[in-house]
Amino acid sequence: MNILKSYGNDKTVVILTKPCGYRKKAPGAATRLITKIKYGRYPELVHTMNMRYKMYNREQEEIERLEKEGKIFVFRPGEQLIGRMESDYVKLLGGYYCGISDAENRLDELTEYLEA
């Protein structure tokens, strides 16, 4: 895994939807069973789905390390405001405006990173 696969770019800006330190948990027994029943004909897919949390967590560790080293610039919420299945328009709009506010507050920091 290489987050800095640059495709010719010198700078990387990452936008996350979860707060710093968030890690996925392993799927529970019921989820694993449902996955096996539904997709059992595709054992590699079942395996990948059941192990996805490990890949996600490794990616988060890599992002945090690269951010500390100053190699990438990361936007992430300070706290989890909405769930992944949220459909309440007001809550979604609040999350949107919170993201805009966070970006505006860090504009100088982002500009400095991009110009370095």
Tell me the pLDDT tens digit for each residue of 49-88. Answer: 999 999 999 999 999 999 999 999 999 988 777 888 999 9
pLDDT value at position 83? 83
pLDDT value at position 10? 84
pLDDT value at position 5? 67
Inter-residue contact 46 to 36 (CB < 8 Å): yes
For the chain, the average pLDDT equals 91
Query: What pTM was estimated for this model as a whole?
Result: 0.82
pLDDT value at position 37? 97
Contacts of 23 (CB under 8 A, 6+ apart): 53, 56, 57, 60
Q: How many Å apart are CA 64 and CA 100, to the nearest integer? A: 22
Contacts of 110 (CB under 8 A, 6+ apart): 13, 73, 103
